[in-house]
Amino acid sequence: MEKEVGEELDYLRRIRLWFMNAVEHINEGDKPLEKGLVQFLLNPFRQVIVEFPIYMDNGLLKVFTGYMVQHSNVYEPTKGGIRYAPDLSLDLVTALAFDMTLKCSVANLPYGGSKGGVVCNPREMSRAELDRLTRRYAYEILPLIGPDSNVPAPDLGTGPREMGIIYDTYAMFNPGAPYVSAVVTGKPLSLGGSEGRMEATARGGAYVLEEAVRKRQINGLNSLEGATVIVQGFGKVGFNIADILYKEYGCKIIGIADSKGGIYSPKGLVPNDVLDFKNSEKIRVTQ
């Protein structure tokens, strides 16, 4: 089994290689894993592909491809995000579902891993088009989701609005069912969402960075106070981790970049100011 995984390998193959490296390590001990169990965990127990049409704002019908993969149902419900991206594929969704199973296991959480999504570019779609797409995708995956079976969440290209539409669609077809609001996480607060959910991923990243620095694994630092930071990505996670590191840890944010460009200042940047500038009319016109 390969011990080094190069970047030339696709994500699904990398995840499987890392998993098998861990299996080999476990098998060196007194309680090796059964081959059947390893084979069972290498592959998802359910993969679903859906094709569905929606009308675009120009009146034309367009067909979209969606996926839902549940990797392991040893623990239920399965848990994982819904991703909207133009490069989405069945292999990528499968790898992300596998990754979710491993993450839940490492954190000792009683969930299996799942992942879903639609092949689309949300940046090129209107709000109304995204709403129609989300509701139709939710309808297509209705048999696969539920509070006790499979609970989606936001991911790349989705957020509270999409999760609210999924919840609303599920509730429409399951009137009177108990715990309906538990069918999806990351909903707006008005629909039963959790406070702090928007910042949760970024805050987790900040905790990991803090712990790494505390153990002096990053450039000999033993504290984040005054550390200089460059943030790659400035969406839901990137902005929040920059803001948290700046406000709560006393870091100096000297660089911020996303898919459209970057900004750098050795004197330091204020994340909220950069976000206002990014969202300004001037930026939208010049892109």
Domain limits, CATH 3.40.50.720, in the chain? 199-286
pLDDT at 283 over 50: no
What whole-number distance in Å separates Cα of residue 17 and Cα of residue 13? 6
Q: For residue 182, how far is the Cα from the chain centroid?
A: 18
Query: What average pLDDT does this structure show over 97-109?
Result: 94
Domain limits, CATH 3.40.50.10860, in the chain? 44-195
Query: How are strands ordered across the β-sheet holding 150-154?
Result: 46-55, 61-70, 112-119, 78-85, 150-154
Query: What average pLDDT does this structure show over 249-258?
Result: 93
CATH for 44-195 is: 3.40.50.10860
Residue 281, pLDDT score:
52
pLDDT tens, residue by residue, 114-128: 999 999 999 999 999
Tell me the pLDDT of the chain averaged across its residues.
90
pLDDT tens, residue by residue, 147-189: 999 999 999 999 999 999 999 999 999 998 888 999 999 999 8
pLDDT tens, residue by residue, 21-39: 999 999 998 888 899 999 9
Of the candidates 115, 187, 236, 278, the residue annotated as catalytic is 115
Banded model confidence at residue 3, pLDDT cuts 50, 70, 90: very low
pLDDT tens, residue by residue, 36-69: 999 999 999 999 999 999 999 999 999 999 999 9
> Alpha carbon of 287 to those of 1, 236, 257: distances in Å?
46, 20, 14
Residue 7, pLDDT score:
47
Residue 9, pLDDT score:
64
Indicate if 278 belongs to the active site: no
What whole-number distance in Å separates Cα of residue 62 and Cα of residue 182? 31
User: What's domain 199-286's superfamily in CATH?
Assistant: NAD(P)-binding Rossmann-like Domain (3.40.50.720)
